Amino acid sequence: MNIPAGHVMIVAAVLLATGLFGVIVRRNIVLVLMSLEIMLNAAALAFVAGGSARGADGQVMFLLILTLAAAEVSVGLALVLQLYRRFKTLDVSAAASMKG
């Protein structure tokens, strides 16, 4: 059975919206990072869908995104550790002192 690339793009768009929603409503920093991962993977899926229709370039982009998402999340987890050490919580609203 052949799935049209356009349908995959729709799934990717839904995933992106899911991730964005998670980033906005979640208060736990680990879940925020997971939502960020979902958004990045949505973009990666869209590149794979594009690649299946337009040639191998999209798959190469997928590999790049995979690597860089890992780099981003490792720095993110280091910051999660710092947040926990300083505030003894994973709730991002604890770190909201700056205003104005």
Partner 1 sequence: MMTRDLLALGPMLITAGGAVVLLLALAVCRSHAFASAWSVLVLAAALAAIPMTWPGAPASGDLLNLLAIDSWALAFWGIIFGSALVVCLLGFEYFRPLAVQAEEFYVLVLLSATGAAVLAAADHFATVFLGLELLSVSLFALAAYRRDQAISIEAGIKYLVLAGTSSALLLFGLALLYFHTASLRLSGLAGPLLAGHPDTIALYAGIALVLVAMGFKLGLAPMHVWTPDVYQGSPAPVSALVGSVSKAGAMAFMVRLAGVTLTGTPGVRNGVFYGLLVLAIASMFTGNLLALRQPNIKRLLAYSSIAHMGYCLLAVLPMAAGAALDRQAVFYYMLAHAVSILGAFGCVCAASENGREAQHVEDYRGLAWRRPVLAGVFSLMLLSLAGIPLTAGFLGKFYVLASGVRNALWLPAVCLVINSGIGLFYYLRVLGTLYQREEAESPDQFATSTAPSALLQPSPQLLLTHLTLAALVVLLIYFGLMPALASLPM
Is residue 23 within 8 Å of 35, Cβ to Cβ?
yes
Contacts of 92 (CB under 8 A, 6+ apart): 27, 28, 29, 32, 83
User: Does the protein bind partner 1 through residue 75 (CB under 8 A)?
Assistant: yes
User: Does the protein bind partner 1 through residue 71 (CB under 8 A)?
Assistant: yes
Q: Write down how long the chain is.
A: 100
User: Does the protein bind partner 1 through residue 91 (CB under 8 A)?
Assistant: no
Contacts of 26 (CB under 8 A, 6+ apart): 32, 35
Report the residue from 1, 40, 59, 89 that binds partner 1 according to the rule CB under 8 A. Answer: 40
Binding site for partner 1 (CB under 8 A): 5, 9, 12-13, 16, 19-20, 23, 29, 32-33, 36, 39-40, 42-44, 46-47, 49-50, 53-55, 57-58, 60-61, 64-65, 68, 71-72, 75-76, 78-79, 82-83, 86-87, 92, 95-98, 100
